Amino acid sequence: SAVISQKPSRDICQRGTSLTIQCQVDSQVTMMFWYRQQPGQSLTLIATANQGSEATYESGFVIDKFPISRPNLTFSTLTVSNMSPEDSSIYLCSVPGGRGRTEAFFGQGTRLTVV
C-alpha cells in the first residue's frame, strides 16, 4: 500500500484567507484525488489531479475556489481560497494502489476550521 503524508494535519484559519494543503506519496502515481468531508457527512470528491495536465473538477467545485497543483508524480497541493466557515471540513488526498490495482489509499486528512 502507498504511504501518504498530508500537511498540515489541522489548522484554524480566519475567514477570507487561503490555506494550501500538501500531499506527499512515497511512490510515483499518475492520478491523485482530493476529497472533502464536511462535519458528520460522507466523503465528496473535489477533483482528480493528473501530473502534467489540468485537474478535473467534480460538479459543484471550481478551480478558482480549490486550485490544485501537481508538479510531479509524488506530490500535489490543494488550496482552499477565500475561506468561509462553510469550508470547515476534513480534506483528504487519495491515490490508487499501484500498477494493476484498483483500490485506493488515503492520507490521514487535514482538519480545517474557519473562524
**Site residues (CB under 8 A) for another protein?**
1, 4, 31, 33, 35, 42-45, 48, 90, 92, 94, 96-97, 102-109, 111
Locate 46 and state its grid cell.
473535489
Pick 36 or 80: Cβ nearer another protein? 36
Pick 9 or 28: Cβ nearer another protein? 9
CB of 16 to another protein, least distance (A): 27
| Distance, first Cα to last Cα, the chain | 36
CB of 106 to another protein, least distance (A): 4
Pick 35 or 66: Cβ nearer another protein? 35
Locate 25 and state its grid cell.
506519496
47: three-class secondary structure by DSSP: strand
Pairing of strands 56-57, 31-37: unpaired
Per-residue CA distances from 88 to 32, 76, 94, 100 (Å): 22, 20, 19, 35
Pick 75 or 105: Cβ nearer another protein? 105
